[in-house]
Chain A
Amino acid sequence: MPPDGAALAVAFAGVLRGTGVDVPVGSVVAFSEALAATGVANRDHVYWAGRATLVHRPEDAPAYDAAFAAFWERRPQTLALGSRPEPVRVTLAIDDALGDDAGSGSEPEPAGPTLTVRYSPAEVLRHKDFAAYSPGELAEARRLMADLRLGGALRRSRRRRPARRGAHGRPDLRRTLRRALRAGGEPVRPSRSAPGERARRVVLLVDISGSMEPYARALLRFAHAAVVGRTRVEVFTLGTRLTRLTRELSSRDPDAALAAAGAAATDWSGGTRLGEALRRFNDEWGVRGMARGAVVVILSDGWDRGEPEHLAEQMRRLARVAHRVVWVNPLKASPGYQPLARGMAAALPYVDDFVEGHSLDSLERLARVIARSRRYPHGA
């Protein structure tokens, strides 16, 4: 093999990284070993050797194809190369554009310069509507939100734990034997074990259409605190399409995480096709396992441009696999609110908990609802 396989591997990895694919050094070593095994004479072998060693998720395949064509076949791929968008910095300022189709009772305040002395800002903020926040207040809220802890309701796990004496439970032979050895071979006291408990997965589906934007950004903060806090949380945005944000939110630095999330979901402030986005969630993630036995939280005002029957059908599917479905509607806090949005009305029969989510205080309550283990009948 005239060209050095290792040098080729390193050079190609460089090109691949340029397209935005994460290529760890270990994978480059594996690729160079793979090239040594397959040789570089056959195009397909080189292609698949790279696919098997350098690509670890199907989403990266198009970027890989582009890099492969550019490097091995010398076909420049200007379109796909660098296709990953530049990270856009998400500022938390509210742009006053509370959607035209919101029709809500929450009045946006002009975010003009406010120079008032605030007593106990935390207390004031707790009940204030997110839509009415000034940028400074949002920064303040961010600090408060970091204290929120989100944990799914408990479920029985297969892993067993020792049970207290006299408690019910299966005999635990292992512990009985250990004790017996200590007592000179006499199993004096039988030990017992009972199923342990662990937190259920929490899946957050956040509507990011125009009317929901201020709340969506606040809830993403909340989601970030949960992801970083090692809770089993999955986060998606629902807009004109479905975007998974769990990875983006896993960065420790909240600003970096939110910036990454903002860049990944490209349909901020667009319209909503709730039913369609939910269908994609059900098909690709939810019904296949992610929503099974999980607490699913949907944050949305229920304004849907699609057919209500479509949304109802997808809600039915979701409710069948989820442990509980929680719907958070920031508009619910407005006095005299009626779930008149067609989407909301269609979805409501499949919702276990219908709560508001317009303020820090209500997010705290949401955290409690999520952690509650009791199952409520549908339509409650």
Chain B
Amino acid sequence: MPGAQVRTPESVEEVRTALADHDYLADEGLATAVFLALTLQRPLLLEGEAGVGKTEVAKVLARWTGGELLRLQCYEGIDVSQAVYEWDWSRQLLHLRTAEATGAVAAGTDALEDELWSERFLVRRPLLAAIDHREGPPPVLLVDEVDRADDEFEAFLLEILSDYSVTVPELGTFRAAVPPIVVITSNRTRDVHDALKRRCLYHWVEHPDFEREVAVVRLRVPAAGETLARQVAAMVEQVRELGLYKPPGVAESIDWAQALAALGRTELDAAAVQATLGTVLKYREDQERVRGRGVDELVRAAVSRAT
């Protein structure tokens, strides 16, 4: 799909349709936020429970616009060499050795230094790759789980996102001709800094309502029939109300429907739930709580909710 007209969608409705065409069912709020992010060329900060499909937004944007997906997974202690760029030291060292062996060193260290600090030996990490992008549709930069990185990294990210440029001391400044589409996600284990939030458009991603969850499961797991999809969505909706440590997200609904479909089930029953509970609940205590509530009863309620 050509990128040019995708860049500035005409309306929120167009965004919603396009996302749906690429297998992502967005609600009005998310579609508006994405529309604004594309129109105003601002980063989009998505917060919400794990498994509500935050990361998926970046992936679907990449599929839609045809831009390359550049993913930066954040973690504590992440720094410039993993996020922006790094020099390929071992190759530089080898180059130096070769120069030495062929007697090029004698020609002058200045020339040799210029050669060593050239783009040839520069390793582009996601942030630089997103800025220094040359042809085709602009890439989609996914900064995943930014709450895991430290504050210093956030300040650094803010600097890059405010003017879409990166300076490599040895080479000069890279500036984005067309800014990348930026999606930042956070699980909110700590608050993202206000300055970064101000730079971004913000959207809190909720668990989908029942009908949308059914639609998502149908879309992502074609092998599961309508009945199974509805029953799985109804069951997950109930389980979320049980006060679990980790309430299942849409991702778990999809996994569960997949597992049940793989087992050849077309309907939910207590035995199937018992056998596949591990795909939905990843804590022993949570599984115990669900079993304690009575799987039979939950299944009965889900089946009647689904019809």
Binding site for B on A (CB under 8 A): 24, 26-27, 30, 33-34, 37-38, 42, 44-45, 48-49, 51-53, 55-58, 61, 157-159, 173-174, 176-177, 180-181, 184-187, 198, 234, 246-247, 282-283, 285, 287-290, 313, 317
| One of A27, A53, A159, A247 near B36 (C-beta < 8 A) | A53
**Partner-contacting stretch, out of B190-198, B233-241, B255-263:** B190-198
Q: Which of B36, B187, B197 has the most CB of A within 10 A?
A: B36
A180 touches B33 (CB 8 A): no
Bound CA–CA A174/B187 (angstroms): 35
Binding site for A on B (CB under 8 A): 12, 28-29, 32-33, 35-36, 39-40, 42, 47, 50, 75-79, 87, 89-90, 92-93, 96-97, 99-100, 105, 109, 112-113, 116, 147-148, 187-191, 194, 197-198, 201-204, 245, 285
A187 proximity list for chain B (CB < 8 A): 93, 96
A181 touches B204 (CB 8 A): no
B100 proximity list for chain A (CB < 8 A): 185-186
B79 touches A247 (CB 8 A): no
Bound CA–CA A185/B188 (angstroms): 49
B89 proximity list for chain A (CB < 8 A): 173-174, 176-177
A234 proximity list for chain B (CB < 8 A): 190
Closest to A50 in B: B32
Known: A26-B198, A52-B36, A290-B190. 4 other contacts (CB 8 A): A38-B12, A48-B28, A185-B96, A234-B190
A61 touches B204 (CB 8 A): yes
* Chain B, interface SS category: helix
**How many whole Å from A291's CB to the nearest CB in chain B?**
9
| One of B29, B76, B99, B112 near A48 (C-beta < 8 A) | B29
**With A37-B35, A157-B77, A287-B245 given, is the CB distance from A185 to B203 under 8 Å?**
no
Closest to B9 in A: A37
B201 proximity list for chain A (CB < 8 A): 30, 34, 52-53
B245 touches A317 (CB 8 A): yes
B204 proximity list for chain A (CB < 8 A): 58, 61
Bound CA–CA A173/B201 (angstroms): 41
Bound CA–CA A177/B245 (angstroms): 50
A51 proximity list for chain B (CB < 8 A): 29, 32-33, 202-203
